[in-house]
Structure 1
């Protein structure tokens, strides 16, 4: 499963593939930028030095890097950050292990200049603090003579405390990208003697959360993320080495089993894995496994997770996306509820709670201070330029808020959704929108077709099934109280296939989501 020989072969292949992409000026280019990439070029140097291959390519890369390096010692992330100390943290994490393995005077001089810039450079996002601290901790190992300059800076960052909440999530909540970056950084800090116990415990708590975010195929729930991975579906291979590393240091077999499971789905980066295996050796035979039967409530994240074998579901508070369901190949990307009501009819889970297995989302319907209702005349002049500013002076004729609840419960065959209106007016158009990933086949008792992204389908009665290969999510019963294809105040889903159930208020309606495999 985790063979040093296999990891080293993957590393060599990775190194050779980067060298093949090297430009005449020594740089690597980012195809999505159409520009040279200092960070990627540093990775090329690291792999060449660490493997002892293509030394001439490393020297050409250093020609480019020395010419590109700014007077501060820093480089740029060319689509975003210039004179970037956070990116110095990533570069130090990449290059320092190579220098610790094989001393290289020219690269060391490049890094010494970079360290000088990183010490006073500052950061942008929360994770940068730990990336920079870990990079500087590795630099301290490379250059012990700089310890008196480096150590106070690391300690000043660590004095802020790790930004992990009570549910085990970082501020950025990025299970697909930044959780792995933070875990790796804290593991480096622990091994370099910085807050070892606190760092390891923080990593443990975050990885415990991640264990409860995986779908059965090894992809991870990113609907909670505040970063660029939000809403994506991918196997987070960057978590493999953190799971291995933390599992080894903490003697936690579930982390090791998770690493083995992910390694089958999407192998780890050869450079990181080789470093780990050279330091700790090959782990004993592991049984690949992820937790597959649980329900977990996360009050701080305003979320609830359910895994039952192939079924994986997430209930979200604080957003219009209320539910995400994965069943094998089938994916219900989103469930959204709306009323066409004064521009404030979108259901947002203002509160979420769990009671005896039932998860309740409550929407108060208070998205605007002026709605629902009507504004009354002031009885005095309202200059055009003052109309908006004077709005707060108007009295309102209030009508009831469209307060409602959505209750999600498990059933023997899947999930049940119960939508109940608690306040508001009668005869208001409402809808339950089920947004499926494209690529499925929609079937009812008397029709079957393959809907395209952006298409809207009304389920007027009975049951409808969205089938992906052998995996089916069945919806029932249908309802068609109105035929508004794009109901006012509802959110569109242009990249998905929308199945609509439509109603008129008041409502107490249950909908079954049945998971089957043929």
Structure 2
């Protein structure tokens, strides 16, 4: 084990030494700048980089006087971004922010622990500056608030590190004011923010310290649950499923970050879990492996070393999360209430067969994602010409047996009656000032539409069905990246700069050696887009138009081409 740890640390040291060369250039440019622009996190990342290289005997900068001078300067700069309250700001968003102070303080505390243990008396100035930052932050952490769910666990983790460094009961008491609210996690590992590439990692990483420092087992169990769920959330190429995120990573191409790297190593070692050990290896291969990774290997190598052989995550599975849950979607239109997008616990279906990766999602208009190798269909929406409903959001996903699943939407539409005089006289005829929510619903009408999915080895079939006899317009909208790949097909006709209609036959979207073929074109009406579902300028769209009653099937298949002759395989 010792040889493995030493080799791992040696490799990480070489990576950080290469990064330091670029950091020297930035530091010199800043010295020449008339006006330095503050960039939240730069001082912190620089501090961590300098600290690990100064303290690591395998580093060529070990105990280097020039590096120490830069470390001292950076520690003073860190104090310079701290506000009188003890907080820092995330300059483009959160001002005078306790949660961002918690993010910062957690890492500063780790750096402080390293400097206290390994930096020596020569680094006392830098060490004292770092400890001063933490002492000034203490009141902000003990009294400050949050504004997103994950902030509670970040605050609790920072408070745990403060207890480790300074002792006392106050930090623990404040942390448990948040922890006693209960952990917002489903039984399969999903958090409120549903953010597989950012906030899952944050929750798992910070809850590890909450669990270990405070001896709080539910935090460790939750972290492990989230990481185990992630074995079902990888697309080909080890990118992460972001297509149903409730945060800023929605639809982004993302891989594991260094928080995942640390969390998978720490939890895999604790749990002695072969699958988590394998996912730690994925993070080893795909995460940036910055100075935070080296910092953890230096501080607690025994906690970072999985003690079981990894069992590579399967690339063959079909799993339905949140079975039986119903998402709150707009089903009465015109809809007068708020739309809840990406609701916590909304069912998610994941289907993986090697290069094929499929996600079906309840609770949002983009109900389907398909990837085959490098080729990606970013989403499929089903638009409906129904009282301006736009694209349908399905409340649930129902297993039908075998590899078949049902998404059903039942919609209600109506018109509204007049208001009594007592509700309108004050408005002076201004409609928007009237209590329109009090209008009586008149002429209520209903319809239903189904998507039945049949999952296959190389794709899936989507059966779109509605027995409504009234000629309701339906439109499947298949979304593709605007900058990658090529769209072709004899039945394709351009309807706008980034929109095409598949009137007949099949469309082929190819990217590299891989392609996705969509067969089942139709043109039963001429609408370019459904009302209130305009084309998204960030995507290319292929539309298929039906009118009810309909029972039509889109056949989606993945194709890989031989490199030599371009023939399908």
Same fold at TM > 0.5: yes
Whether 2:503 is the aligned partner of 1:460: answer yes
1:358 pairs, out of 395, 400, 404, with 404
State the 1:410 CA deviation.
0.9
1:323 partnered with 2:368: yes
Aligned in 2, Cα 1:388/1:402: closer, same or farther, shift over 3 Å?
Answer: farther
2:124 corresponding residue in structure 1: none
C-alpha distance in 2, partners of 1:102/1:41?
16
Q: 5+ unaligned residues in a row in structure 2: which ranges?
A: 55-60, 62-66, 117-126, 323-344, 562-569
Change (3 A) 1:373 1:116: closer
**Contact residue 312 and residue 327 of structure 1 kept, 8 A:** yes
Q: Does residue 1:18 correspond to 2:23, yes or no?
A: yes
Report if aligned partners of 1:174, 1:226 keep a CA contact under 8 Å in 2: yes
Q: How far, CA to CA, are the matches of 1:248 and 1:416 in structure 2?
A: 41
Match of 1:254 in 2: 275
Report how far residue 318 of structure 1 moved: 1.1
Question: CA RMSD of the aligned region, Å?
Answer: 3.0
Paired residue for 1:310, among 346, 355, 360? 355
Give the corresponding residue for 1:166. Answer: 187
Number of positions where the alignment pairs a residue of Structure 1 with one of Structure 2 = 504
Aligned to 1:212: 232
Comparing 265-274 with 151-160, which one deviates more in the overlay?
Answer: 265-274
Q: 1:482 to 1:453 in 2, by over 3 A?
A: closer
**Structure 1: runs of 5 or more not aligned:** 367-371
Partner Cα distance (1:491, 1:237) in 2: 34
Q: Which residue matches 2:476?
A: 432
Partner of 2:489: 444
Which residue is 2:300 aligned to? 279
> 2:159 and 2:249 mapped to 1: Cα distance?
27
Scaled by the length of structure 2, the TM-score of the pair is 0.81
Match of 1:409 among 449, 454, 463: 454
TM-score in terms of structure 1 length? 0.89
Question: In 1, are the aligned partners of 2:491 and 2:502 still within 8 Å (CA)?
Answer: no
Indicate how the Cα distance of structure 1 residues 27 and 428 shifts in structure 2: closer, same or farther if over 3 A, else same.
Answer: farther
Q: 1:158 to 1:413 in 2, by over 3 A?
A: closer
Cα distance change, pair 491–348 in 1 and its aligned pair in 2 (3 A): farther
Distance 1:393 1:420, change over 3 A: same
State the distance in 1 between where 2:31 and 2:96 align.
20
Aligned to 2:153, which of 115, 121, 130? 130
Deviates more, 1:272-281 or 1:456-465: 272-281
In 2, distance between residues paired with 1:428 and 1:150? 60
2:411 matches 1:373: no
Q: Report the 3-state secondary structure (helix = DSSP H, G, I; strand = E; otherwise coil) of the residue aligned with 2:200.
A: helix
Q: Does 1:200 align with 2:220?
A: yes
Q: 1:39 aligns with which of 38, 41, 47?
A: 41
Q: C-alpha separation between the residues in 1 aligned to 2:387 and 2:491?
A: 38
1:345–1:24 Cα change, 3 Å: closer
Q: CA deviation at 1:130?
A: 1.2
Alignment correspondent of 1:296: 319
SS at match of 1:11: helix
Residues 1:185 and 2:222 are matched in the alignment:
no
Q: Corresponding residue for 1:507?
A: 550
CA distance in 2, matches of 1:28, 1:86: 30
- Match runs of 1:71-90 below 5 Å: 71-90=84-103
1:39 offset after TM fit, Å?
3.4
CA contact (8 A) 1:26 1:57 kept: no
Residue pair 1:28, 1:40 contacting (<8 A) in 2 also: no
